[in-house]
Amino acid sequence: MEIRNTYTVTGMTCSHCVNSVDAELRQLPGVSEVRVDLTSGGVTVTSDQPLDEAAVAAAVDEAGYNLVRSS
């Protein structure tokens, strides 16, 4: 079963930012795809298991940015 979660990340300003967020989120267990939209700050994460929002926030923080909400 595929699960998609959408988050908003603040602080990204360039393609390096996008790559950093993508790389950190892909390290989470079960993540199969990450799509980051620099313009909107939207991040869609596809996984084969439910993701813990705290783990997602920690990964985004590790990349140097902030998770502001999930939907």
pTM, full prediction: 0.92
pLDDT (tens digit per residue) in 27-37? 999 999 999 99
Which segments within 1-71 are labelled E, that is strand? 3-10, 31-36, 42-47, 66-70
Mean pLDDT of the chain: 95
Count structural domains, the chain: 1
Range of the domain at 14: 3-70
- What distance in Å separates the CA atoms of residue 20 and residue 12, rounded to the nearest whole number? 10
- What distance in Å separates the CA atoms of residue 48 and residue 23, rounded to the nearest whole number? 17
Residues 6+ apart with CB under 8 A from 21: 9, 12, 34, 36, 43, 60, 63, 65
Domain containing residue 48: CATH number:
3.30.70.100
- What distance in Å separates the CA atoms of residue 7 and residue 55, rounded to the nearest whole number? 13
For residues 17-31, average pLDDT: 97
- The pLDDT score that the predictor gives to residue 1 is 84
